[in-house]
Chains A and B, each alone.
Chain A
């Protein structure tokens, strides 16, 4: 286990820092003192066996789950664990859930329109008008996610992959400083996955990204830094090679795999 970070060692370029986060679901400790530091402009992959607490960590950061203890500091000073979800989103943290969750009765365009970075008060949306600048941005975004031809379609009628892309497009319109993506390539074809990876790299030039991923192939191809979680704790951190050659990681993964194989053979 890596030693906990010293309080004085704060780096200015840290955009997000989780400190000793504990999440307790009625006695089941999903996170048991998880630490994570994300630098500005970093593309970080979060891996680990099932139940390691990866999604729960994202839930804590975006406010969906309130931790029993620990802090999540945004820009070194704002404690996100004390904020409500919409406030966290407004501060600049975007979340994409694993299953595509779009609004079935809104068109693709309308999705981008409401996701766009803007004043989100009732009064502002009552009087909002699309500027030509907004239109341009929207058009560029539609092109980027390849849904230009379907801009007027109801999102409920899109295919699975298109919904995922629409969600990524919405996140980009939000212009968050930190993007939290839960298995963005799940259910995509190889080509779509490739495209997603390239897009992620593109995004990470300006924004910081945390990606939860199971597909090791995808991780190898696109990850610069990897964090491995196990049983609600940080297990290892480093480049893909470092992590893959880490003994504890191998034990966790291979151990699991051996168990799974054993299960399969007895089944």
Chain B
């Protein structure tokens, strides 16, 4: 069974992917400009969700600080766009704040290549720094999560406070061109949409490779039983750091694309609420499955924009209820629904064999498996 490559399941998966890819690539043909722009934004956010799923779903580390990585990517892009729009003059908010000269760290962002590199590498560097001090010292679980929250607070406070350099609460907005193309031009918007779709496919393929490789199996092993993995000879800290850095890089990439579609980035878009929202997309879509993360991000944001057009105050209430419902009734999220028949079949087979032990993991799901994993750790810690 594990040796057969072209299983029916694999063929159906491929058909599904092909359909999804073509539907997304053809979207400019059947969506109006407004909807296409929204979809582009959602696809950008899905890139961030993929990254979060990699560290949370596959490695078992909950980060509530991905808004920062997302924000760093977004600000890097925004700085370039702002400089391009200012046409050699000082950006407007700087002169309002009394600056007379462009700060030194803004200067390299005149180069689009530098800005794009920085948009990925800055989040990666920050993740590496945080990971270095936490994972190596075996800080994990809720303590790590709290640290990531602290990171968000520090960063947003810094960005709000340094108005002259960051645009403060208003953030950075007022862009005109990218590589000389007008951002407002519908044609440019279509290209940017397609670029975002392609980046999402590439990010998906990357995560697929990572999680499908032996590296991915070691990540899951670390999630299930960090100590056990250590006694096989793996250094969990290095694996966690790698996953965290890739995850942060993807969030930065998402931020860059987001700015191109939305035309503004401000501290409130990288704060605590957006950071938690990202986690909700992954939870509701189905953590530990890549397609779940993408679906979660797109559907949740789709629902958000539809609902908040009509009932703006209802949205937060609904998202809270939905989260509770998913956690209680569908621990595998939306992606779990697709796997339900197979899981039930497996469970039935298992009870037929009447071995009776270990059926608590019958759904074979990430959440359930993790509960078992935690148990394993507890045993080995005794």
Residues on A with beta carbons closer than 8 Å to the beta carbon of B239: 122
Which one of B10-18, B62-70, B229-237 is at the A interface?
Answer: B229-237
Q: Which of B214, B355, B370, B376 contacts A101 (CB 8 A)?
A: B376
Residues on B with beta carbons closer than 8 Å to the beta carbon of A154: 361, 364, 369
A62 to B361, CA, bound (A): 30
> B355 contacts A159, CB within 8 Å?
yes
A126 to chain B, nearest CB (A): 5
Q: Chain B 114-137, CB within 8 Å of chain A: the 1/0 string?
A: 000000000000000000000000
> A97 contacts B366, CB within 8 Å?
no
Q: Given contacts A101-B379, A105-B224, are A89 and B357 in contact (CB under 8 A)?
A: no
Residues on A with beta carbons closer than 8 Å to the beta carbon of B379: 97-101
* Chain A positions 152-209 with a Cβ under 8 Å from a chain B Cβ: 152, 154, 156-160, 170, 174
Residues on B with beta carbons closer than 8 Å to the beta carbon of A64: 227, 231
Q: Which of B2, B221, B232, B356 contacts A89 (CB 8 A)?
A: B232
> A157 contacts B232, CB within 8 Å?
no
Q: Which of B217, B357, B360, B362 contacts A159 (CB 8 A)?
A: B357
A59 to chain B, nearest CB (A): 10
Query: Interface residues of A: mostly helix, strand, loop or mixed?
Result: mixed
Decide yes or no whether B238 CB sits under 8 A from chain A.
yes
> A125 contacts B380, CB within 8 Å?
no
Q: Given contacts A101-B225, A101-B380, are A120 and B215 in contact (CB under 8 A)?
A: no
Decide yes or no whether A114 CB sits under 8 A from chain B.
yes
A187 to chain B, nearest CB (A): 11
Residue of A nearest to B373 (CB): A104
Q: Which of B227, B372, B380 contacts A156 (CB 8 A)?
A: B372
* Chain B positions 64-121 with a Cβ under 8 Å from a chain A Cβ: none
Q: Chain A 64-100, CB within 8 Å of chain B: the 1/0 string?
A: 1000000000000000000011100110001101111
Query: Interface residues of B: mostly helix, strand, loop or mixed?
Result: helix
> B2 contacts A109, CB within 8 Å?
yes
Decide yes or no whether A14 CB sits under 8 A from chain B.
no
Count: A-B pairs, CB below 8 Å: 131
> B350 contacts A104, CB within 8 Å?
no
Residue of B nearest to A174 (CB): B232
* Chain A positions 104-128 with a Cβ under 8 Å from a chain B Cβ: 104-107, 109-110, 113-115, 120-122, 125-128
Residue of A nearest to B371 (CB): A104
Residue of B nearest to A119 (CB): B233
B296 to chain A, nearest CB (A): 20
> B233 contacts A174, CB within 8 Å?
yes
Residue of B nearest to A160 (CB): B357
Q: Chain A 206-240, CB within 8 Å of chain B: the 1/0 string?
A: 00000000000000000000000000000000000
Residues on A with beta carbons closer than 8 Å to the beta carbon of B360: 156
Q: Which of A84, A103, A152 contacts B220 (CB 8 A)?
A: A103
B-side interface residues, number (CB < 8 Å):
47
A-side interface residues, number (CB < 8 Å):
42
* Chain A positions 122-154 with a Cβ under 8 Å from a chain B Cβ: 122, 125-128, 151-152, 154
Decide yes or no whether A102 CB sits under 8 A from chain B.
yes
* Chain B positions 334-382 with a Cβ under 8 Å from a chain A Cβ: 350, 355-362, 364, 366, 368-370, 372-373, 376-377, 379-380, 382
Q: Which of A89, A102, A107, A128 contacts B213 (CB 8 A)?
A: A128
Q: Given contacts A106-B220, A122-B238, are A99 and B382 in contact (CB under 8 A)?
A: yes
A104 to B225, CA, bound (A): 9
Residues on A with beta carbons closer than 8 Å to the beta carbon of B232: 86, 89, 114-115, 120, 170, 174
Residues on B with beta carbons closer than 8 Å to the beta carbon of A170: 232
A64 to B217, CA, bound (A): 23
A111 to B223, CA, bound (A): 14
Q: Which of B218, B231, B357, B377 contacts A114 (CB 8 A)?
A: B218
A99 to B225, CA, bound (A): 13
A28 to chain B, nearest CB (A): 16
Q: Given contacts A101-B225, A103-B224, A104-B376, are A114 and B217 in contact (CB under 8 A)?
A: yes
Residues on B with beta carbons closer than 8 Å to the beta carbon of A159: 355-358
Q: Which of A62, A86, A107 contacts B235 (CB 8 A)?
A: A86
A31 to B364, CA, bound (A): 41
> B215 contacts A126, CB within 8 Å?
yes
A121 to B217, CA, bound (A): 13
Q: Given contacts A104-B373, A105-B373, are A120 and B234 in contact (CB under 8 A)?
A: yes
> B377 contacts A101, CB within 8 Å?
yes
B226 to chain A, nearest CB (A): 10
A-B contact pairs, 11 of them (CB 8 A): A86-B236, A89-B230, A89-B233, A101-B377, A103-B228, A105-B370, A113-B214, A114-B218, A114-B221, A125-B214, A127-B213
Residues of B within 8 A of A (CB): 1-2, 210, 213-215, 217-218, 220-221, 223-225, 227-236, 238-239, 242, 350, 355-362, 364, 366, 368-370, 372-373, 376-377, 379-380, 382
What would 8 more interface pairs be, CB under 8 Å, given A64-B231, A95-B231, A103-B225? A64-B227, A86-B234, A101-B376, A104-B224, A114-B217, A125-B217, A126-B214, A156-B372
